[in-house]
Structure 1
């Protein structure tokens, strides 16, 4: 019976039917749920596009909160016109995700361990998107995730291409820059990763300057500095509970940033400290990875936990706690499943739980979160604690990577050993 199920799950028609059903469901819920999961798409992205088409180009003629390439998928979503912008957005997301999904399953060789791992990663991704809900595809972040997944999957054989893809992703949202650093530290052909990334980063900047952007091309850096503590961020859990207790803390809506934040004793100081703490955490992880690589660990063993540790640190130490940040986790976990199999079982399951809890938080019960319902505050706190636990787990896995490649393969175990030997031997 199990063999039949596995054979059925490996059939392309079943895989693509599941892919389309997943995206149809996410699009439907995103456009119809009363809490407006696609609110950023229809109420923020669309006016930005219309403003730019009317002559005031965001990021060029004036400052903008996002890097310049984030405008491209927003503009492309006008394919059906402004009245159907949400559907146009979903079409663009589906096309981008389909390219990554196809890369996973078409390179899967039936009957091989490599094929099993790629199919597992493909099914895991669909389940993760469903658990996270419509916000997983209703923000610009999904396009960065697609680029990062592609970059991480090709980095071993095409390091320069990976650098280009990660550089492009960084010009959509900033967080993939940490994975450029990860690739440079972990990979043997690190110079090619660096050259591909630098050429891309400089090339996009030069293009923006040629269009007359000036310093507006880099305004996304300064636009984020004035933010307070967003209600969903891990560090904000303290003030959410203080607000529930009535201890001089409260939730409020920031009309400039267009998000709900929390304020209370010490929250302003915490907001100022979070960015330096984030920088320190990322730097510490990169230094740890440097010494692990120097110990002789294979790049294919180091890179997945290093990428996961960096991405999770960017969430844990972020004063912004947007629910779509959880979709970032899919990139390093897909890489981990494809290259390390069962070693990434616990992170993959933990991410499932975090995704499900996040969908409960937003959009299902967001009103209750803002209303400081104690049950929902418990759910929010649990999700944030799991994020911290995942960071600790990823750092532990990174440290354990200093063991010999053979020992790590034995830890992965069973079905996936042959694949692991192949990837390590290819180091």
Structure 2
């Protein structure tokens, strides 16, 4: 590729990123104001309040809305790195830098022969579609760590393991990046030992540093069903027929409370357990870990647990956008359609929060319709992602597309061991550790 073509390949997405992020910044700085609730109060009020408590030498022990692992304190305290700015502005500035770093990782990876630049465009579009919520939560910091971990997995498994552990202690979901990690081999052992050792060391440091580091483990025990979740659709419809429950601020979010809520919450937990069971069955029956397995399994697992959760907060879409961007960057991955559905769901999420949130809370037809579409897209994406992950690692339904000419060995009819697979047109055998190539 010529230097001019390479510059164009980078310049266009960077320009698109700059334009879209300028609009997002104008929204969070309240130069442009979207209809609906002010999404920045989490930063200006809640995060700032937590920061004051953390600076006193303790975790927020008396605040049940603190539902995060101990390393989240680093994200909450991070605006202190920019003492010349007020807390809220400093937070947005750090999120902007983190956003740019994530784009840089995706652009760098997209220049490799076995990768493509589409992942950068998924990231650009996904954050823009989510709107100001993307910058008004610390989730974008966590997704950056997850993206870096996935790209580091092949060449630097110890770094990847440490990043996964750090991400899990920022906000628990990055532990799902281990779903597709290999269990055998030198690189696999390096990744798993690094993740376990880093998690243990960081946890001990946090516990020793301040009381209340593990209080988050019990703060979500009595949650209800959040108004944007899949299970909430039951009560949005039931309200039209006289259901006498109510929507209240509970554990930091608006939730349904009343008759039937415990049962629906139990069903949601059961669905999450079923998702975990399917992932376990998939791992048990895996025939081979392809070069794309790590990112595809991480995307699929996170999608399943997000969709079945009692709470689908708008910022959760960032997790799926980031992991989807990595999948699309890796040329052989098969998750393009689910990623497109996630992008569509992200755009609908902006319409329901913050734009139409009042109608969602009131269970008005427009709000319920938006939730039905958004959650329906997530369900569809989950089912398709599961099917494609299953096929890519078991060979069901034909050869996976885009595998760079991998020819799978067939077992002879007499039961003798099959010959190793070959890579057509290359003397290099394909990787089987299930990780995308690092940039």
Question: What TM bracket, shorter-length normalisation?
Answer: 0.7 to 0.9
Residue in structure 2 matching 1:403, options 376, 389, 395: 395
Could you tell me which residue of structure 2 aligns to residue 57 of structure 1?
Answer: 58
CA distance in 1, matches of 2:314, 2:381: 16
8 Å Cα contact 1:405-1:424 kept in structure 2: no
Could you tell me which residue of structure 2 aligns to residue 226 of structure 1?
Answer: 222
Could you tell me which residue of structure 2 aligns to residue 206 of structure 1?
Answer: 204
- Structure 1 residues without counterparts, runs of 5 or longer: none
Deviations 1:2-23 (CA, angstroms, capped at 9, x unpaired): x9xx959844344333333332
Q: Say which structure, 1 or 2, has more relative contact order (CA 8 Å, 6+ apart).
A: 2
Could you tell me which residue of structure 1 aligns to residue 276 of structure 2?
Answer: 282
| Residue 183 of structure 1 pairs with residue 181 of structure 2 | yes
CA 1:375 to 1:186, structure 2 compared with 1: closer, same or farther past 3 Å? farther
Could you tell me which residue of structure 1 aligns to residue 436 of structure 2?
Answer: none
What TM-score, normalized by structure 2, do the two folds share?
0.83
How far apart are residue 83 of structure 1 and its match? Answer: 7.4
CA distance in 2, matches of 1:187, 1:391: 30
CA 1:133 to 1:424, structure 2 compared with 1: closer, same or farther past 3 Å? farther
CA 1:178 to 1:344, structure 2 compared with 1: closer, same or farther past 3 Å? closer
CA distance in 2, matches of 1:89, 1:134: 13
Could you tell me which residue of structure 2 aligns to residue 239 of structure 1?
Answer: 235
Could you tell me which residue of structure 1 aligns to residue 121 of structure 2?
Answer: 123
Aligned residues: 408
8 Å Cα contact 1:409-1:420 kept in structure 2: no
Could you tell me which residue of structure 2 aligns to residue 270 of structure 1?
Answer: 264
CA distance in 2, matches of 1:421, 1:384: 44
Could you tell me which residue of structure 1 aligns to residue 379 of structure 2?
Answer: 388
CA distance in 1, matches of 2:226, 2:264: 11
Residue in structure 2 matching 1:90, options 67, 92, 99: 92
Could you tell me which residue of structure 2 aligns to residue 260 of structure 1?
Answer: 254
Could you tell me which residue of structure 2 aligns to residue 16 of structure 1?
Answer: 14
Residue in structure 2 matching 1:102, options 74, 98, 104: 104
How far apart are residue 189 of structure 1 and its match? Answer: 3.1
CA distance in 1, matches of 2:228, 2:430: 43
How far apart are residue 368 of structure 1 and its match? Answer: 1.4
SS of the aligned residue for 2:68 comes to coil
More deviation, 369-378/271-280: 271-280
Deviations 1:263-309 (CA, angstroms, capped at 9, x unpaired): 343211232453354234224213313312xx1x2332433332222
Residue in structure 1 matching 2:369, options 378, 382, 387: 378
Deviations 1:214-266 (CA, angstroms, capped at 9, x unpaired): xx222111111111100001111111111233222332222xx1211113432
CA distance in 2, matches of 1:128, 1:208: 33
Could you tell me which residue of structure 1 aligns to residue 245 of structure 2?
Answer: 249
Could you tell me which residue of structure 1 aligns to residue 431 of structure 2?
Answer: 426
How far apart are residue 178 of structure 1 and its match? Answer: 2.0
Alignment of structure 1 residues 169-180 onto 2, 5 Å: 169-180=167-178
CA 1:411 to 1:202, structure 2 compared with 1: closer, same or farther past 3 Å? closer
8 Å Cα contact 2:71-2:206 kept in structure 1: no
CA 1:421 to 1:131, structure 2 compared with 1: closer, same or farther past 3 Å? farther
More deviation, 150-159/331-340: 331-340
Deviations 1:384-419 (CA, angstroms, capped at 9, x unpaired): 111111111111011111119992245799xxxx99
User: Which structure has more helix as a fraction of its residues?
Assistant: 1
Could you tell me which residue of structure 1 aligns to residue 192 of structure 2?
Answer: 194
More deviation, 396-405/143-152: 396-405
SS of the aligned residue for 1:58 comes to coil
SS of the aligned residue for 2:249 comes to strand
CA distance in 2, matches of 1:424, 1:400: 21
CA 1:145 to 1:204, structure 2 compared with 1: closer, same or farther past 3 Å? same
Could you tell me which residue of structure 1 aligns to residue 130 of structure 2?
Answer: 132
CA distance in 2, matches of 1:269, 1:422: 57
Deviations 1:37-76 (CA, angstroms, capped at 9, x unpaired): 22211121011112222x2521689984211111112212
Residue in structure 2 matching 1:168, options 157, 166, 169: 166
CA 1:84 to 1:245, structure 2 compared with 1: closer, same or farther past 3 Å? farther
8 Å Cα contact 2:157-2:190 kept in structure 1: yes
